[in-house]
Amino acid sequence: MSEFLPPSFSVISGAQVQAVTDGREEEVIRAVEAAYRLHGEGATVNPDSHFLTFPDRPSARIIALPASVGGDVDVHGIKWIASFPENVAGGLPRASAVLILNDPRTGYPFACMESSVISAARTAASAALAAVALGKARDGRRPSRIGFFGTGLIARYIHRYLAAAGFRFDALGIHDLSAAHAEAFRGYLRRTESGAITVHDKPEDLVRSSDLIVFATVAGEPHVTDPAWFGHNPLVLHISLRDLSTDVVLASHNVTDDVEHCMKANTSLHLTEQRVGHRDFTAGTLFDVLTGRITCPTDRPTVFSPFGLGVLDLAVARFVYEEVARDGALRIIPDFFSELRRYG
């Protein structure tokens, strides 16, 4: 039996993660697509996410996402991500996260990475990939009018990744419960967009005026309930998972990243399953779309509801780690592992 190399342990900061990912959105999208394909081919392990919730703070949670990815990614790991919406009022981002990478041969952790950026990047890359693939699977046309329902960090990242994927918009709509946040997001969009930007007071107006709708809220239960709003059959990126009523779901063509994973935690799809007693309202997964197993009709809205697979975080984290290592910028913690001899 060959000897194992002494393990080392590195810490990668959020600034380093951003330095690797900013401007390389297309590479991140390719990494996410590769992870989806490995998952669809059975080369991953993606157990249930585990939610830590608090009786005195029902809007807050911390989630553990363990996963393993085979193929060229070849890594195990876990993301530990907190969502505390009240942070925003105090001037802090809602989400914070770390991610641990484990060596697949020894199991030893070899890196701890700031992961709010990784999480946002993989979410946005997944959304952009889905927008491209689902558009091709429908009629091949790209939407020219986009609406953002929720204007936080995830919405900003999704806009950036859609741009990297080649989307160009003649009209952009915004709706947020906070007028100040809506105006700030409009200011962000004005930096790069030449199309008309409208802040909608009524959510119905946003939905009806958009061919591509991005739901990126912190909603805990459905609040968009009328299928008639979607009568123009838009493409919907239902990233926040709990915005749409069961009536809207049942009137739509539904695609997710993993059917089993999305049927939990009172997502809109989970509530629909509880209502009708089956899962026939889901057409399949993004992997099915990427491999041509399913197509999308044009006579109904197409809704993509991704639960957020840990394998995507690991794929992006592995990409970041390799790039930081290639640049010689790993911050190795000396003597992190001290007991390496069995008998001292």
Cα-based angle 57, 63, 69 (whole degrees, multiple of 5) = 175
For the chain, percent helix, then strand, then coil, each to nearest 5? 35, 25, 40
pLDDT tens digits along 33-67: 999 999 999 999 999 999 999 999 999 999 999 99
DSSP 209-273: T-SEEEE----SS--B--GGGGTT--EEEETTSSSB-HHHHHTSEEEES-HHHHSSTT-HHHHHH
pLDDT, position 308: 85
Question: Any residues with CB less than 8 A from the CB of 103 and at least 6 apart, and which?
Answer: 7, 75, 76, 109, 110
Q: Which two tokens stand for residue 14?
A: 């959020």
DSSP 300: S
Which residue is it, tokens 């060959």?
A: 2
User: How would residue 341 be classed by pLDDT, with cut points 50, 70 and 90?
Assistant: confident
Q: Do residues 69 and 41 touch, judged by C-beta distance below 8 A?
A: no
Residue ranges of domains in the chain, CATH in brackets = 10-118+310-332 (3.30.1780.10), 126-305 (3.40.50.720)
pLDDT tens digits along 289-330: 999 999 999 999 999 999 989 999 999 999 999 999 999 999
pLDDT tens digits along 83-114: 999 998 899 999 999 999 999 999 999 999 99
Q: Is 112 helix (H, G, I), strand (E, B) or coil?
A: strand
- Residue 74's φ and ψ, nearest 5 degrees, are 50, 65
Whole-number average pLDDT of the chain: 95
pLDDT at 224 over 80: yes
pLDDT, position 1: 43
pLDDT tens digits along 170-201: 999 999 999 999 999 999 999 999 999 999 99
CB-hemisphere CA count at 13 Å for 325?
13
pLDDT tens digits along 16-39: 999 999 999 999 999 999 999 999
Q: What span, in angstroms and rounded, lies between the C-alpha atoms of 111 and 118?
A: 14
pLDDT at 2 over 70: no
